[in-house]
């Protein structure tokens, strides 16, 4: 009997129970580029053969995708075969037991607010800012400790924050509201910005501000429409 969609999702999540496989998935997901077997093996400190085994299992479950490319400039005879490379797939998993459809409710609400008078939109942004503050303790004083707390909150909320760049930018590599943003982008992006500004208001990490980051060549697919600036 064919497995149901729920059973397939459970099996996919269960595949990450193995600590080595989970470490490989986290590493590949964090790189934002294609990763070869040798690099992945070195990062997790396992053999290349073991890395290849687990990476291919992740591909089989749809968690990773593959491509082939030569990693050196050599061409012609003796250059060897193109290397098999891995990257995180676009697969999304959201398992609730018993089944819940929160995303469907979110879409209905987003459509309703989009069509509602401006007062409804303003109420949504106030609620988002309040929700952001509620995610953290009200704080005073800035400094490294607050920055560390900010990184923890962003990670737990699914933003996948990157380390601060030399220009002071903190880029958020994942949009936790991707499905909703694809359908009601202006509204969800405004809500997201208000939510993150609420987080900053609650933590008060000195010198950090949230700004809108429009789509463009420098913005990675699936990344957040907001970035944080520390300067």
CATH of the domain at 80: 1.10.10.10
Encoded tokens for 28: 């590949």
Identify the pLDDT of residue 99: 82
CB 203 within 8 A of CB 136: yes
Task: Tell me, yes or no, whether 207 lies in a domain.
Answer: yes
In the block, which residue shows the tokens 């910005």?
Answer: 193
Residue 77 shares a structural domain with residue 156? no
Residues 6+ apart with CB under 8 A from 230: 147, 164, 168, 169, 170, 207, 208
Residue 177 shares a structural domain with residue 83? no
Residue 231 has pLDDT above 80, yes or no: no
Q: Give the whole-number percent of the chain exceeding pLDDT 90.
A: 56
Q: Give the pLDDT band of residue 140 (cuts 50, 70, 90).
A: very low
Q: Given 53, 88, 123, which residue is the final one in a domain?
A: 88
Residue 137 has pLDDT above 70, yes or no: no
Residue 83 shares a structural domain with residue 107? no
Residue 45 shares a structural domain with residue 20? yes
Residue 26 has pLDDT above 60, yes or no: yes
CB 174 within 8 A of CB 158: yes
Which backbone phi and psi does 40 adopt, to 5 degrees? -65, -40
Residue 116 shares a structural domain with residue 44? no
Residue 172 shares a structural domain with residue 83? no
Q: Given 88, 110, 143, which residue is the final one in a domain?
A: 88
List, as one string, the DSSP characters of the chain.
-PPPHHHHHHHHHHGGGSHHHHHHHHHHHHHSS-EEHHHHHHHHT--HHHHHHHHHHHHHTTSEEEEEE-SSS--STTS-PPEEEEEE-S------SS---HHHHHHHHHHHHHHS-HHHHHHHHHHHHHHHHHTS------SHHHHHHHHHHHHHTT--BPPPPTTSEEEB---TTHHHHHHSHHHHHHHHHHHHHHHHHHH--TT-EEEE---STTSPTT--SEEEE--
Residue 5 has pLDDT above 90, yes or no: no
Residue 118 shares a structural domain with residue 171? yes
Task: Tell me, yes or no, whether 190 lies in a domain.
Answer: yes
Q: Which residue has the higher pLDDT, 148 or 171?
A: 171
Look up the domain containing 181 and give its range.
Answer: 102-229
Which backbone phi and psi does 229 adopt, to 5 degrees? -115, 135
Q: What is the mean pLDDT of residues 124-139?
A: 86
Distances (CA, A) of 51 to 37, 65, 85, 90, 205: 6, 15, 12, 21, 39
Q: What is the mean pLDDT of residues 204-223?
A: 81
Identify the pLDDT of residue 145: 58
Identify the pLDDT of residue 218: 67
* Domain count for the chain: 2
Beta bridge partners of 225: none
CATH of the domain at 170: 3.30.1380
Beta bridge partners of 210: 228
Task: Tell me, yes or no, whether 15 lies in a domain.
Answer: yes
Residue 177 has pLDDT above 70, yes or no: yes
Task: Tell me, yes or no, whether 142 lies in a domain.
Answer: yes
Residue 107 shares a structural domain with residue 184? yes
Q: Given 54, 88, 122, which residue is the final one in a domain?
A: 88
Identify the pLDDT of residue 76: 57
Residue 207 has pLDDT above 60, yes or no: yes
Identify the pLDDT of residue 7: 87
Residue 76 shares a structural domain with residue 107? no
Identify the pLDDT of residue 132: 94
Identify the pLDDT of residue 1: 47
For 56-112, how does the pLDDT look when each residue is reduced to its tens digit (9 = 90+)? 999 999 999 999 987 666 665 555 678 899 999 988 888 888 888 888 999 999 999
Of 174, 179, 157, 172, give the one whose Cα is nearest residue 102.
179
Q: What is the model's pTM?
A: 0.78
Task: Tell me, yes or no, whether 97 lies in a domain.
Answer: no
Task: Tell me, yes or no, whether 96 lies in a domain.
Answer: no
Residue 198 has pLDDT above 90, yes or no: yes
Residue 2 has pLDDT above 60, yes or no: no
């Amino acid at each position: 009997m064919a497995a149901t969609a729920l059973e397939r999702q459970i099996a996919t999540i269960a595949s990450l129970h193995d600590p080595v496989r989970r470490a490989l998935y986290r590493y590949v997901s964090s790189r934002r580029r294609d990763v070869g077997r040798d690099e992945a093996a070195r990062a997790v400190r396992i053999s290349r053969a073991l890395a290849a085994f687990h990476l291919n299992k992740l591909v089989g479950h749809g968690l990773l995708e593959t491509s082939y490319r030569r990693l050196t400039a050599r061409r012609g005879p003796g250059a060897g075969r193109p290397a098999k490379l891995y990257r995180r797939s676009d697969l999304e998993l959201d398992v609730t037991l018993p089944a819940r459809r929160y995303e469907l409710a979110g879409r209905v609400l987003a459509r309703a607010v989009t069509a509602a008078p401006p007062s409804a939109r303003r109420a949504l942004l106030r609620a988002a800012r309040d929700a952001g503050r509620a995610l953290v303790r009200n704080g005073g004083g800035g400094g490294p400790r607050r920055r560390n707390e900010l990184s923890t909150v962003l990670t737990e909320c699914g933003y996948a924050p990157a380390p601060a760049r030399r220009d002071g930018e903190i880029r958020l590599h994942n949009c936790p509201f991707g499905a909703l943003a694809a359908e009601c982008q202006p509204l969800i992006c405004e809500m997201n910005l208000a939510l993150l500004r609420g987080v900053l208001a609650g933590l008060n990490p000195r010198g950090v501000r949230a700004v809108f980051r429009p789509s463009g060549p420098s913005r990675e697919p699936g990344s957040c429409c907001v970035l944080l600036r520390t300067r």
